[in-house]
Structure 1
Amino acid sequence: MSETLAVIADVHGNSCALRAVLADIRSQGITRVLALGDHFSGPLAARECADLLVDSDILCLRGNHDRILSEQTPERMEHSDRVAFDQLAPDHLGWLRALPDVLRLEGIFACHGSPESDTTYWLDRLGPSGETQLRPLPETLALAEGIDEALILCAHTHIPRRVDLPDGRAILNPGSVGCPGFDDTHPQYHVIEAGTHAACYATARPTPQGWATSHHHVPYDTARMVALARQHGRRTWADALGTGWLRGL
C-alpha cells in the first residue's frame, strides 16, 4: 500500500462532523478511508450517518456500541444507544451485524478497542482516581503480541494519540470524529475529554522509514448537534460537543 489512508473513528451519530471530515479528506485527494467503529450510537443523527456510510466505499469495522445496537434488545439499551436505535432501519442494523471486529490490510492491523476486547483502552488506562494515564509500555506491548503489521490502528478512547513500539511498529488512535468527550462508569467512573470541539481524524502514509502519520482537527458548526443532544436530555453530550470539555464548565 503506497497511497495515503484516512482513518476515522467514533462518529457516534454526529452527521455534521462526519460531513466536515469527509469533505476535508476529499480536499486532500485521499480516496482510501477506514472507519474504526462506533458509527451511529448517540443522541444525535444516527440515520443521517447511516446514509453517509452504509453505501459508501469506506471500509468499516464494528465497535462496542455497534455491537450493542445490533445485538441487544432495545429495552436493555442505555438512553443514547436507544435514541440511535429508534432512528435506524433493519437494513442498517444488519449492516452493523455484518461488520468485522478486526481488519487486516497490507501492513495494517485495525480494531476498535484492543485485539482482546472492543471495550479495552489500548493506549491509555485509568489511574486510582479514574484519571486517564498513558498505558505503560510493557502492557501496550503485551496487547500487541502476535501482531506483525507495522501500523496498528485502534480507537475507543476518543483521544488522538500515537505510540511507537521499540520494534518499529506504531499504534495510532485517530481520535473521535463526533464525540470529543464522555463520562463512563466502567470499570470505574471516569471522564474523557479531547479539549477541542473540532472533529478529529488521522492520515497515514507508508515511507521507507516507517509510517508517517498526522492528526487532523476540523472545525465545523456544532450548533445543530448540540441542540439535538439537549433535545434528548443529554447535557454532558451537549457540553462536550460545544466545547470539548466536561469538567470545570
Structure 2
Amino acid sequence: MDKKIAIITDIHGNQSALKAVLDDIDCDPQIEHIYCLGDLVGIGYETNEVLELLVSRSDISFVKGNHDEAILDIIAGREVYSRGAEKKHHQWLATRLDPKYISFLKEIPTTLKANYHEKEMLFVHYHLQEQKKFLSVDKEPTDKKLDEFYQNSTAAIVCFGHHHVIHHFKTKNRLYLNPGALGCNHKPYAPYAILTIAESGATNVCFKEVPYDNEEFLLGYKRLNIPDADYILKVFHGNQHLKNL
C-alpha cells in the first residue's frame, strides 16, 4: 500500500497560514503523518498561536530550526546567533512565549529519521556541519553539490527547509526535497508538499500552495510595533501589506 506523508517547514509564527495548510492536509485522509522541518517561530509574531495548533495534534513529528534555537538560547541566557535588529526581534518574541511551550521546544531533535517501504528518510532543518551547526544558505544549490554533501548518508530521501524556496532534486543516489516556507511568502499562499512512496519504492512529490487571508496578520506587524517590522514586511512578505493601507 502506498505511504503518503505531508512535509511542512518554516511556519515562522504565521498561525493563519499554518491553519490553512493543516485544514488542506486534513481533507486528504490518505495522508498518514506530517513532518515539520523547523522554524516554527520567529519572523512572525503568532508564536503561541502556532505552538498551540501544533501541540494539539498527535500526527506531527518535528525537527528544530535556527529560529527555534535562538528563542531557547535567549530564554536560557545563552549567547544567541542573531545580531542587531534580528536579535531585538528574537528577544521581543522570547518575552512573549508562553512558558508552557518551552519544554516542547527543548525536546525537538535536530535530525529525525523514518523508513517507508525500505526507503530511509532524513529530516533536518538545513544541512548540518559536523558540529551540528547549520551551514550558510546555498543560494545556488545543485544536485551535484547535494550528492557530495550527503555522500556518506544512507538516506534515500533528504527533506529540509530554511532556504525559503522550493528544492526538488532527484539523482541516482537520492531525492532532495524542500517544500518552501509555509509562513513567509510574497503572495497570500502557504506552500507545502505531499510525498507518496509506493510499495515498489517509487516516489511522487506534489507541491501545493494553499490560499489564505493574510491581511490581518500582515497589518499586525505595525499594530503591535514589532521590532524590525519594516524589514520583515519587505523581505519576507514582499510589502503585501501596503495594498491594505
Shorter-chain TM range is 0.7 to 0.9
Out of 168, 172, 181, which is 2:177 matched to? Answer: 172
Task: Give me the whole-angstrom Cα distance separating, in 1, the residues matched to 2:38 and 2:178.
Answer: 12
Offset at residue 142 of structure 1 (A): 2.1
Offset at residue 197 of structure 1 (A): 3.6
Offset at residue 44 of structure 1 (A): 1.8
SS of residue matched to 1:178: coil
Gaps of 5+ in 1: 126-131, 181-194
Distance 1:62 1:242, change over 3 A: closer
Report the equivalent of 1:64: 66
Count residues with an aligned counterpart: 221
Task: Give me the whole-angstrom Cα distance separating, in 2, the residues matched to 1:230 and 1:21.
Answer: 25
Out of 102, 109, 124, which is 1:111 matched to? Answer: 124
TM-score (norm 1): 0.80
Task: Give me the whole-angstrom Cα distance separating, in 1, the residues matched to 2:178 and 2:79.
Answer: 32
Question: CA offsets, 1:172-230, max 9 Å, x none?
Answer: 001111012xxxxxxxxxxxxxx534111111011236221111111111111101222
SS of residue matched to 1:4: strand
Task: Give me the whole-angstrom Cα distance separating, in 2, the residues matched to 1:4 and 1:244.
Answer: 35
Report the equivalent of 2:233: 238
TM-score (norm 2): 0.81
Q: CA RMSD in A?
A: 2.4
Task: Give me the whole-angstrom Cα distance separating, in 1, the residues matched to 2:166 and 2:178.
Answer: 5
Gaps of 5+ in 2: 241-245
Q: Does 1:204 align with 2:204?
A: no
Q: Is the 8 A contact 1:69 1:93 kept in 2?
A: no
Instruction: State the structure with bigger RCO (CA 8 A, min sep 6), 1 or 2.
Output: 2
Could you list the runs of 4 or more consecutive aligned residues of structure 1 that deviate by over 6 angstroms after TM superposition? none
Report the equivalent of 1:213: 205
Out of 151, 159, 165, which is 2:157 matched to? Answer: 151
Offset at residue 147 of structure 1 (A): 1.8
Q: Give the AA of the match of 1:114.
A: H
Report the equivalent of 1:97: 106
SS of residue matched to 2:181: coil
Report the equivalent of 2:36: 35
Report the equivalent of 2:243: none
Task: Give me the whole-angstrom Cα distance separating, in 2, the residues matched to 1:16 and 1:118.
Answer: 30
Q: Is the 8 A contact 1:197 1:240 kept in 2?
A: no
